[in-house]
Structure 1
Amino acid sequence: MAIVLFIVAGFLAGGVIQLVRSGASKFSVGLVALLSVLATAGGVAWLLPGGD
């Protein structure tokens, strides 16, 4: 599952770059960037030891 989250984060990071290049609104760039950060954090959290 962590690999899937990292792949999604990569696609979203690429989307942020394309949105910035195309001059999209700051809200849309921020939203996609936030989703990318959350996907990365989820992937890292999935790899951490512990839990049940």
Structure 2
Amino acid sequence: MGAALPTLLLILAGVLVGGTWSLYRQGAPKVAVFVTAALAVLATVAGVLRLLPENG
């Protein structure tokens, strides 16, 4: 189960990026686009950080 969480987080990030793009193209309110984009960034950062080896 070591690589399951980072994989799921990066999949979630991809879905959120697609959702952000879709919202932007449909002319959704800027707040909705920003929140979705922020969640995508957070999921990406969390997934990448979980892949890094632990120190110590």
> Between the two proteins, what is the percent identity of the paired residues?
46
- The SS at the match of 1:24 is coil
Which of 2, 7, 10 is matched with 1:6 structurally?
10
Q: What is the TM-score with the length of structure 2 in the denominator?
A: 0.88
TM-score, scaled relative to structure 1 = 0.94
- Give unmatched runs, 5+ long, in structure 2: none
Matched length? 52
Q: Which residue of 2 aligns with 1:43?
A: 47
Task: Look at both structures and tell me which one has the larger radius of gyration over its CA atoms.
Answer: 2
- In structure 2, the residue matched to 1:30 is 34
Could you list the structure 1 runs, at least 4 aligned residues long, displaced by more than 2 angstroms after superposition.
none
Unaligned runs of 5+ in 1: none
Q: Which structure has the highest helix share of the two? A: 1
**RMSD, aligned CA:** 1.1
